[in-house]
Each structure stands twice: as C-alpha cells, then as structure tokens.
Amino acid sequence: MKLDYKALQPDIETWLKSFPAELSENPLVGQSRAAKAFGDSLQQHGTYSNIYALFSPGILKRDVLNAYFNEHQWEYSSWYDWVYMANPKDALRPVAVNIPSGSAESFLEAVWAFINLPKDNREEAYKEITQTYDTHKLRDYMQQIRDVAPEDIQGEQLASILVAHEHPAPYYYCDRVTEERLFGHIGVQAIEGTVRSELHLIEPGLIHKANGGVLAIEVAELLEDIKLWKRLKNVIECSELEWSAAKPDSGTAFFYRPEPVPVNLKVILLGSRNEYAQLREYDEDFDHFFPFLADFHGHYATQNEPVAPYFDYLNYVWQIADVLPLSQSGYAGLLKVCARYTDYQQELTLNSVRLLQVLREANSCALERQQTEIDKQAIDDALQQQRDREGNLAELSRRSILEQQVRIDTHGEAIGQLNGLTVVTMGGSEFGEPSRITATIHYGDGDIIDIERKSDLSGNIHTKGVMILSAYLANQFARYAPLSVSATVVFEQSYYEVDGDSASLGELCCLLSALANIPLKQSLAITGAVDQFGNVQSIGAVNEKIEGYYALCKERGLNGEQGVIIPVSNKHQLNLNEEVIDAVKQGNFHIYAVAHVEEALEILSSCRADNFFQKVKENTLEDDESGQPIGFWRRLFS
C-alpha cells in the first residue's frame, strides 16, 4: 500500500480547531492517573500509605508538586511547633515538647516567667499555660517543672526552638539528600577543653520541619547511601526520629541524647522506574510502606483525551520559557514537534524541558528576524539548528556512501541484495542510514547461516530474528521435504555489533530473492520484523530511518523510483519533516506500508507472490520419477 503524503504527519489542523478561547497554566494536564494516586494516598493515615511518584524524563517535578498541593492537602495534617526543654532531672536528656503551631516563642516566654514565680504563686500561671498550649507532652513537662526553681535547671539554657511553623508549607522538598539535611544533627562545641553539646546546637532536618505534613524526597541521592534508606524506613515504621549518637571520642557529647521526636508524616519518593525497581528488589518491605504508585508519564494521548487542555499545558511551558508569543503557525509547528517527540501521530509530549529548549531557541531565531511572534518558520529554524549541531556523524556516514567507500545501490536491480534501514545511536546522536544486506545459496540441507552470528557480531535479538525467518522458510517450503540448499545472509561492510529484529524482513526478502533467482529493486529500502508466518511487525525509529535514506537519495538525485517499505503497523508513528513530505507529494519519493512479506516481495520485484514462491520451489524441490525430492544442484548438473 502506497501511502499518501497526508498520512505522513499528524492532523495538526484538526488539533488547532480545539484551541480554547482562554488559556490557563496547568502542568498537570494528562496526569489524571497520577493525581488520583496522590488523592487516594492523601485520604489515608498511617505508616503503610506512602507514595512513590514516578516521573518520566523532562517533567519538572517541583512545578507538578506545586500545582497539585496548591489545590490539595493531606487530610491528616497536624502541625505543631517543637521545642527542646531542659530536663530538670538529667541535663543530658533534653525533653521534646510539641505545642500549637506558631506559638513557640510565646510559650517559651510563658515558661520562663513561670519558673521565675515563687512556687506558691504558680497555680494560676500553670493552668493558663496548660490550657493555652494544651498538648500531652506539654502537660507532662509542666508537671516535671511545677516545683522547679531557675537554679535547679541544669545546663546553660532552658529551651531551644527546634521547629516553628508560622505558615507551614503545603509540602517540603528534599533534593540534596544527606544525613544532616534529612535527619538533622547535633553539633558539639569545646569549652575549656571539654567537648559537649547544648540545646542550641540541635539542628532540625527536613523530617522535623515536615513533621505533621508531606515530605517529598529525591530517590536518586537517597540510593547513593543505602544507610539513608534504612534509617528513613525505620522512621516511617517506628513513627519517631531518634538522633544519631555522637562518636565515642567526642567527650561528654557522646552521652548527650535528646528525646526522640514523634513523627506523623506522609512521604513521597520521587524517582524513575529503574529506581522504583531497584528499591522493590532491594527491600521486600518496600511495597508495604509505599503502596501508591503515581506514574507521571511523558505522553498525552489525544485519542483518549480532548486536545483543548493540552494548550493549557503548552501555555505553562511558554510562561516558564519567557519568550515571544506564539502565532497560529507557531502553534502548528510546535504541535508537530510535540508529536514527533512521542513517535506517535496521536500523542503529544509532556517533556517540558525539551519543549522549553525548542521555544527558547525558536525565540532567538524570531528575534534575529526582528519578529514580534514565534511562527512556524522560527520553530523549523530552531529544529534545523539542532540537527546541524548533532548531524556531523550522519554526514560523515553519508559521505562514505557517496564516495563509494561503503557500497549502497539506489538504482537498478540485483539478486539476493537489498537495502535495509537501520538506526545508529552514538554519542548522543541518532540517525538513520541504509545498510546493504546480501544473501547467497549453496548446496546443503536447508540451514540459514548468519555470518554476523558466526563472527560474534550479532546481538541476541538479531539472532532470534534470523531464527524466526528460518522457521518461516521451513514452514513455507520444507513442510514435507527438506530444502536441498543452504543460504548465508550478512550485513555487508558492517564492523560493529548488529542487534534488533527490524532487519529480518529485509533479510527474508534477500533470501527469497536468492532462492527464486529473481532480482529486487535497489531503489527501495526496507525495514520490518517478521513472525514465523510472514506477518510484518512494527519496528522503532521509523522516522529517522526514512529521513536517513531520503537524505542519501537526495544527494544522489531523486529519480521518482526511490522509496522505503515499512510495516503497516508503523503507519501511525509517521511524522516526517516537511522536505520528505513534499517529495512524496511531488511523486519523487515513495513510502509503502506492508502487512505481510508477500506484499513486500511484490513491491520489490514487480512479481506476484505466488509466482515468486513457485520459483523458489522449482529451484529447491522437485519430484523425480521415483517420487523422491531432488534439489536445485542435481537438476543443474544432470
């Protein structure tokens, strides 16, 4: 099936018709599944209801969290100020006391005034303090100092504020994960040769600051020191945070042990899918503590969601990019980019970082032309600049073909030879290029010899692909009698490992051409995987492969015969650049989509598939008068 030029990119005009009358900023567009996971977790209380937030590359985590927690909060949030009070019984065991949020300073003033009152005049002040700052720990502490005089307080300080919440944050964020930053620490000081700790040297960590609310932690740095994960798990499980003990050589500071702080916390771990898998594999209890998976994916599926909200997402990216406004054609160009980044015609990217980079570079292009808006031309110029920066390897590869250092034929016909489409990923660059596949036959017992495998240049998936096409040939032609020939297949002038099964369709067509002794068109390149029944299956990087072969054909001169053959299942992934689309529109380049190897053979050879297969049978199997099969070579030399 030859594809029309309109099928080579998304239907952007239809998307533009959904442009809303008013735009808002929304980084949460398309993330309803993850938002629901957040909501379900935030409705629960307890140790076993925390969240693992899985973020695809390019999503700005802080913006997503800010947008969500601006509208939502944990239903069981309970904010308190925490202070450490001198223990009248043991100066080395400060007491942790919680009081209503925002009242730490007034509480300390009230307590200081209380202990300076005569013991006989404290009853009224005692009742006022316990009623004003009514918590269980406060009542316990006030009972301890009810009859304590100022001179009975050991140490140099009465109290130190650990955490004070005037206006608690919707959530707290820990990116640079260290033991001190997450769990806090107790400092030491040397006075007259004695190393010791005091109340004012107790420094809170983010767990203390977020206590009573939500704490988001980056997993990547947490996993760099697995001891941090173990300690965090212990805090979640025990619902309290104990202070790390000082080193034994730290003098009296070693014996300074403030009371552990009770912890009521909702924890959100932020990371990738690989880190999620690592934690699950490392700790069998991980799923117990983090049962809610919030998957912030990188694609917006327009076949399932309306397009209009996506423009709110683009407006959010535009706002943080701080660039010129987009014109109508600018939005069209940007939407094409958004779809290209997903490799699907019906999906749009949610990779904010990549879009941010495109917009800022397009803004520079527009300013160079003294424009007041970013139009499609500015978007195209920005993309071309990116291709130019990354295109050195592709140009060197193409030059080696043009100079015939690497042989690739783009015209004429040949038996047992075909151009396969491959993609090269190297040093951050990814580009498509053709590779010459050849096949030869010889007398044998039907084996297919993969030269790449014999020379240890075949990856596991490529080896599997060759085995599958061998099974197809056996099923098609040797069901009742063995083939009398064997064949070899190879990627010519390939000096690196070949992997993937996307060349198996090309290899199969080459083998069939050699077996049938029928030539194939060299102006066409092919890509696709096959199954044991000859059905053509989808492959990756289809746009890069097509554009790479087109670039070579353009350099040599388009003659109206060149083109590519791709799996029909890849049709909805097509999003080619304007130059290729225009060449297809003008009839100078062609793109065919096939569902079965027979369709590919008919396009490559202009020969009906049944006639093609009959030639294969004639050249490999024939019954003589005795009813026994004789082969191609016996017939040839008889």
Residue 85 host element (H or E): strand 80-85
Neighbours of 627 (CB within 10 A): 6
In angstroms, the CA 121 to CA 458 distance is: 91
Catalytic site includes residue 2: no
Residue 460 host element (H or E): helix 460-477
What are the angstrom distances between the C-alpha of 582 and each of 577, 589, 598?
9, 9, 29
Amino acid code (one letter) for 90: D
Q: Return the half-sphere exposure (C-beta side, CA atoms, 13 A cut-off) of residue 453.
A: 14
Neighbours of 219 (CB within 10 A): 21
Catalytic position from the list 160, 327, 470, 502: 502
Tell me the sheet residues that pair with 417: 438
Taking the alpha carbons of 602, 606, 608, 609 in that order, is the dihedral positive or negative? negative
What are the angstrom distances between the C-alpha of 632 and each of 106, 190, 540, 576?
102, 96, 38, 45
Taking the alpha carbons of 337, 341, 347, 349 in that order, is the dihedral positive or negative? negative
Choose among 84, 99, 98, 104: nearest CA to 203.
84
Catalytic position from the list 41, 545, 569, 605: 545
In angstroms, the CA 456 to CA 218 distance is: 41
Do 277 and 302 meet the contact criterion of CB atoms below 8 Å apart? Answer: no
Do 354 and 341 meet the contact criterion of CB atoms below 8 Å apart? Answer: yes
In angstroms, the CA 139 to CA 130 distance is: 6
Catalytic site includes residue 605: no
In angstroms, the CA 464 to CA 344 distance is: 27
In angstroms, the CA 313 to CA 307 distance is: 10
Six-digit token pair at 191?
């006075």
Place of tokens 């403030």: 258
In angstroms, the CA 526 to CA 219 distance is: 43
Ramachandran quadrant class, 343 (left: phi over 0; alpha: psi -120 to 50; beta: rest): left
* DSSP label at residue 246: P
Residue 216 host element (H or E): strand 214-218
Six-digit token pair at 86?
């001198």
DSSP per residue over 512-570, as a string?
A: HHHHHT--EETTEEE--EE-TT-BEE--S-HHHHHHHHHHHHHHH---S--EEEEEGGG
Contacts 24+ apart (CB under 8 A), 427-431: 427/393, 428/390, 429/390, 429/391, 429/392, 429/393, 429/394, 430/541, 430/544, 431/391, 431/393, 431/394, 431/397, 431/544, 431/548
How many residues in the chain? 638
Six-digit token pair at 343?
């490799």
Catalytic residue positions, numbered: 502, 545
